[in-house]
Structure 1
Amino acid sequence: MEKGEKDVSLVNGGREKAEEAGGGGGGAEVPGTPERQPCLPQGGGGGGGRAAQGLDEVDRRRKLSASNSVAKNRASFDKGAGGGRLGARVEARLRRRTGLSRFGLTVSAVILALLLVFLIVIVVLACTWPQTPHEHMFPVCTRAACLQASAQILPKMDSNASPCDDFWKYACGSWLRAPAPPRPLWSLAEEQRLRYREHLRTLVTTLPYPMDPTTKEWKLQHLYESCMRLDSIETDGTRPLIKLIFELGGWIVLPDFHPGAWNMERTIVKLFETQQITPFFQIDVVPDPRNPSKNIVKIIPGGLDLPHKSFYSRTPDSPVPSAFMQFLRDIVALLGARSSDAKRFSTNMFYYQQRLATAMPDNIDIEDPVASSHRDTIGNLREKAGSIPLMDILQLVFPKAIINNETEVLVPSSKFMNTISSILSTTDRGPLNEYMMWVVASSYIPYLNFEVRDIEMTYHRVLTGAQVPAERWETCITTLEKYMGLALAALVEQSSHNAERDATIKQINQMFDNIRDAVRSSLAKAYWFDKELQELALQKINTMSLQVGVSSSVVNDQYLKTFYNRLQIQRNDFFRNIRNAREFQMSYLNKKLMEPQEEYKWIDAAVGKNVAYIPTANKIVVPQWMLSPPLYNPQYPTSVQYGGLGVEIAYAVVSAVLPPNILFDGEGVLLNENSTVVNHSATTVRRAKAFVVRDVVQNGIASQDVANKTALTSVIHIAALRQAHMALSEALSSMPHLHQPAMESYESEQLFFLTHAQSLCSKSTPQQMDIDLTTSQHLNGSQLLPAVLKQLQEFSHAFSCSPTSVHYASNISPDIL
């Protein structure tokens, strides 16, 4: 086949081969035709026609399928070409705006994608990252005083205890377990006072050798040295006391007593005049409640040896009365009495004092300024209590004063004076001599030789549980505090730096102002106060002043030289120095009566034991010893300052506007007992006291009797803690927030309550606890703390206490400031 024929066969789909293979009678080939004509089907049936028809159908379908495939491919191509054109337009626009090439756009897209991933990661981390603890969000105080405060607080705590269930153990647990000095009572306040006495000893023993015997330095140094000269004291033995007894007419229990040489009236007058020894009662000089610018003589019950009159109601064979009678026997036997006389004397003395105890008013009556300030003339008292030589006593004690029948004095009550007079008139000379000479002897026992002091120590082991006596240096410093306290305060003042003193005074005054503002605000909201009483309380708060330690006007050398002019001190004669010191105290009473000075109202409180409110001066007095660490440091954290000294000041401020001090007005004048304010004053605390008593008893904190006796002071303490907390919040509002070193997790409020709780930490012997429960008007620390916290929502909030916790404040009295 030639080339042209081959092409035709391909064009015809190879039908010639199909026809040859079919064997059917196809049409005859036309001779002379250059190419074969396609065989068309003929009319009529034939096998070859049907085959050709089937092939045409197959060919048609094949072409249709190919046509559809081409159409689909073309549609797909057209669609892709459209998307490509859109992408091309976007790309062109981006390149035109950014000036980047295609590669640059690709890199930018990758970077943007990575940034988006990073953003998502950061958001996720921020949502799931742990928050910074609060203690790490604020700076830590780096002052030395802050470190010192932490070092004092942390070792006393027991962090294993729950603050909401046992805050006493939480705050004081480790301190309570630590060994304590063998004393009847040991507390943080006692520890502070011991440190203060050590400081006083250092100041006294390092004084330059004084040459002028009229200076305070000379008198301080030689009084201290005479006390420390135990060899001289041991050499003298009991002779100085026996000599004094015979100067007073003798003692019936001792040999060589001559009844005719003793005169009861003359002896009692001489005791009051020169020795400040006060059988039956004491004599004091106080501001006149009606006119505080003047002073008046006040008679105070006294004359008992046991801590409280209730001790005389115990059976004679109980521990304390039995030990007391043994003490009496041993002392008089040592002084020279026969054994039988000593035994008889001890029995008589116990029962005589038991009789005197029936005349003694209750402590509550003594503390009530109205009840204990009954005004009477000497003339009336001579008629009611004629057996008491009161006129003679006062004329000799106050020789420069005009004492006559019209002279007024303050007495606890007419009943007290009548009872004492009755006892005097019905007592034989023998028992009177025994009692009065015993009062003389017992007042000098601490200043005698070791053998006498050892007998006293044996008695105190039973009475207070004391195991060993105080060290000699401490006894001597305590003696100086008693007779020359102002001179010691002057030494402390003169040894301190002016800048430190000024900073201390400034800080404490600011604290006082904040506390006073808090109390003023609370008083304005005290709906249970009568309107007139509320106005009086606000007037007292507005005019109240503060005395921090002793002022510079009373510690200068010239003032003190004049003040101690009548005090005569001798070298190496301790007993004589004590006698002289007592005579000086009587001369001081004379001076107070005849030449009243404003500072006489608060000098004793400035060297006293506690922050005090002086109602006749409307003044708060902070004692000298409280102005040093660990109780106070001007650089301490604010919460520590307010939890310690701040609460003490708040207690004094609150006590000024509650009974009994509310009975004095802002000028220090005692209100008339018939005034409506006096009548309404008791109602201000009646409901609060009843509420606290019920709460204390129901929670098993104290007995009904103890709760009743301590209710008023507990109410004052609750109010004081609340007011100090309010003042702290106000002070902190203007200060940067700082945390304590090593205590970063403790907030300021928690430090406040911790500091206050630790100021109450104390432990006592069972014997001392018995005395405190009998005589004190305050709950002890372990009782007071839970009683107070149950009334303070501020504590529950500070420590996030649950409603089921022991200290949670769920039932609060609405009638407490």
Structure 2
Amino acid sequence: TDRVSLNNYMMWRLTDSFVPYLSKNFRDTVAVYRKDLLGEQQPLPRWEMCIETMQKFMGFGLAVLLQNHAEDFGRNVKVVDEIFSEIMREAKHSVERAGWLPQQLQEHIIGKLMSMGLEVGFPTGGTLLSDKNLEDTYRQMFVMNREFFHNIQYGINFIQKEQQLRLKKFDEFYRWMDAASDFDLRVHYVAAANKIVIPQALLQEPYFHPDYPLAVLYGDLGVEIATAIVKAITPWDVLYADDGTLVDSQHPAINQSKLAFLHPVSCLRHWWGKEGFASSLASDMTTYTTLTKLSGVNIALRTLQNQLKYLPHTHQPALENFEDGHLFFITFAQSVCSIKSPQRRDLDSTLDISLSDKSLLSVVLSQVKEFSKLFSCSKGNMFFTAIPCEDVL
């Protein structure tokens, strides 16, 4: 990169990071900029901006406070752990049945799955969630009255020092604590720890409740967990060993993983290009994330079907015409769809590594034969599935 472009980029990043915390005149300029770029009609309410700022600099503390005041946290963990265990069992079976995977790659993937762990929130017991630990953690976080901008600077310095201190700490907790503190509210796979991490803040209504029907639980949280597991064993996180280190450059997984998934990638790109779901440029950027989501849906659905074999067949009140499969797909669709401004959609389609919500939902559902069967899609319908592309697992 030439020096002028690099300097301009650095100055822009500096401006973008600090201007929102300056006086009203500067914030008004930011509001105009974000309206043109993202379509935001109004700036964030002051309270919401304050919460975002707190999450940025004290995310761990807020997550601990939320977990300490959560109702039925132990019960939530038990339900999530059962879902994870069942999905993991199905994922292992899928890998074992995948005859097209080379033996060395198959053994590498099975090894990762066997040692993969689950973290829901933070570990209870001990001193991690204690007030004393929070006080010790944020003792060097200086906050002064009526000095908001300076407090932002203090917060940045505090985060930098904390990151430097972590380099000297070998406790595995520090590898995944940021994921557990994340208020982005999604299921994470942390390659450095080989763990699936679920922030406690995600286990809130209406997204989650331990008494929800299995079809609803598997349609949202189950799909997210399955997708995270698939992400761990497909390019590019498959290149991490089960101890969180990068595999040697001569390891069979380096080339075998890309070759093994080449045909599903090509098939999906060809299919959605023919159907007009995405441009060729978008397909290059988004194919792997789409495939992991598709495989996650398939694994979660198969796991649900296996679970339902041992349970009495019931219909939910006021939903007598819906089977469990219907509820699964409806819940999945609700978890994918969101409302965005035209400017935001345009920006995401240019920069994001995932398809737009509508395109992702259409591509995934049109590749799942069970959806076509359950909703009686007729021939010629875009969701009618005759011969879907091969699953990655």
Q: TM-score, normalised by structure 2?
A: 0.94
Question: Residue 45 of structure 2: which of 464, 467, 471 is its match?
Answer: 471
What's the counterpart of residue 502 of structure 1? 74
Contact 1:658 1:684 in 2 (8 A): no
Q: How many angstroms does 1:440 deviate by?
A: 4.2
What's the counterpart of residue 266 of structure 2? 690
What's the counterpart of residue 794 of structure 1? 370
Which string of whole-angstrom CA distances, capped at 9 and with x for unpartnered residues, describes residues 417-458 of structure 1? xxxxxxxxxxxxxxx6x8766654442211112111000111
What's the counterpart of residue 567 of structure 1? 141
- Give unpaired runs (5+ residues) of structure 1: 1-279, 281-350, 357-431
Q: In the superposition, relative to structure 1, how do residues 694 and 441 fare at CA in structure 2: closer, same or farther (>3 Å)?
A: closer
Which string of whole-angstrom CA distances, capped at 9 and with x for unpartnered residues, describes residues 129-166 of structure 1? xxxxxxxxxxxxxxxxxxxxxxxxxxxxxxxxxxxxxx
Aligned equivalents of 1:594 and 1:537: distance in 2? Answer: 30
**1:623-642 map, 5 Å:** 623-642=199-218
Which string of whole-angstrom CA distances, capped at 9 and with x for unpartnered residues, describes residues 651-691 of structure 1? 10011110111111212121112222211111121111100
SS at match of 2:326: helix
Q: How many angstroms does 1:599 deviate by?
A: 1.1
1:493 maps onto 2:67 in alignment = yes
Amino acid at match of 1:710: T
What's the counterpart of residue 94 of structure 2? 522
What's the counterpart of residue 241 of structure 2? 665
Q: How many angstroms does 1:492 deviate by?
A: 0.9
Amino acid at match of 1:513: S
Q: In the superposition, relative to structure 1, how do residues 587 and 804 fare at CA in structure 2: closer, same or farther (>3 Å)?
A: same
Q: How many angstroms does 1:520 deviate by?
A: 0.7
SS at match of 1:546: strand
Question: Residue 18 of structure 2: which of 424, 435, 444 is its match?
Answer: 444
Which string of whole-angstrom CA distances, capped at 9 and with x for unpartnered residues, describes residues 38-67 of structure 1? xxxxxxxxxxxxxxxxxxxxxxxxxxxxxx
What's the counterpart of residue 460 of structure 1? 34
Question: Residue 587 of structure 1: which of 154, 161, 168 is its match?
Answer: 161
Contact 2:86 2:303 in 1 (8 A): yes
Question: Residue 355 of structure 2: which of 779, 783, 802 is its match?
Answer: 779
What's the counterpart of residue 103 of structure 2? 531
Aligned equivalents of 2:242 and 2:41: distance in 1? Answer: 47
**1:402-441 map, 5 Å:** 440-441=14-15
Q: How many angstroms does 1:736 deviate by?
A: 2.3
**1:542-621 map, 5 Å:** 542-552=114-124, 553=126, 554-608=128-182, 609=184, 610-621=186-197
Identity rate, percent: 34
Contact 2:66 2:201 in 1 (8 A): no
Which string of whole-angstrom CA distances, capped at 9 and with x for unpartnered residues, describes residues 395-435 of structure 1? xxxxxxxxxxxxxxxxxxxxxxxxxxxxxxxxxxxxx6x87
Q: In the superposition, relative to structure 1, how do residues 599 and 461 fare at CA in structure 2: closer, same or farther (>3 Å)?
A: same
- Give unpaired runs (5+ residues) of structure 2: none
Q: How many angstroms does 1:585 deviate by?
A: 0.6
**1:294-443 map, 5 Å:** 355-356=5-6, 440-443=14-17
Which string of whole-angstrom CA distances, capped at 9 and with x for unpartnered residues, describes residues 201-232 of structure 1? xxxxxxxxxxxxxxxxxxxxxxxxxxxxxxxx
What's the counterpart of residue 752 of structure 1? 328
What's the counterpart of residue 112 of structure 2? 540
Contact 1:639 1:751 in 2 (8 A): yes
Q: How many angstroms does 1:559 deviate by?
A: 2.1
Q: How many angstroms does 1:732 deviate by?
A: 1.7
Contact 2:83 2:222 in 1 (8 A): yes
Amino acid at match of 1:506: K
What's the counterpart of residue 655 of structure 1? 231
Aligned equivalents of 1:726 and 1:642: distance in 2? Answer: 10
Aligned equivalents of 1:582 and 1:458: distance in 2? Answer: 26
SS at match of 1:602: helix
Q: In the superposition, relative to structure 1, how do residues 639 and 438 fare at CA in structure 2: closer, same or farther (>3 Å)?
A: closer
Contact 1:483 1:581 in 2 (8 A): yes
Question: Residue 763 of structure 1: which of 339, 353, 358 is its match?
Answer: 339
**1:47-86 map, 5 Å:** none
Amino acid at match of 1:491: L
**1:19-168 map, 5 Å:** none
What's the counterpart of residue 314 of structure 2? 738
SS at match of 2:167: helix
Aligned equivalents of 1:446 and 1:603: distance in 2? Answer: 27
Q: How many angstroms does 1:470 deviate by?
A: 0.8
Aligned equivalents of 2:351 and 2:13: distance in 1? Answer: 22
Which string of whole-angstrom CA distances, capped at 9 and with x for unpartnered residues, describes residues 460-494 of structure 1? 11111111101110000000000001111111112
Aligned equivalents of 1:544 and 1:709: distance in 2? Answer: 27
Q: How many angstroms does 1:791 deviate by?
A: 1.5
Which string of whole-angstrom CA distances, capped at 9 and with x for unpartnered residues, describes residues 603-623 of structure 1? 111122221111121100012
Contact 1:528 1:815 in 2 (8 A): no
Amino acid at match of 1:744: E
Aligned equivalents of 2:92 and 2:9: distance in 1? Answer: 52
Contact 1:761 1:781 in 2 (8 A): yes
Amino acid at match of 2:145: R
Q: In the superposition, relative to structure 1, how do residues 438 and 767 fare at CA in structure 2: closer, same or farther (>3 Å)?
A: closer
SS at match of 1:764: coil
Aligned equivalents of 1:697 and 1:651: distance in 2? Answer: 23
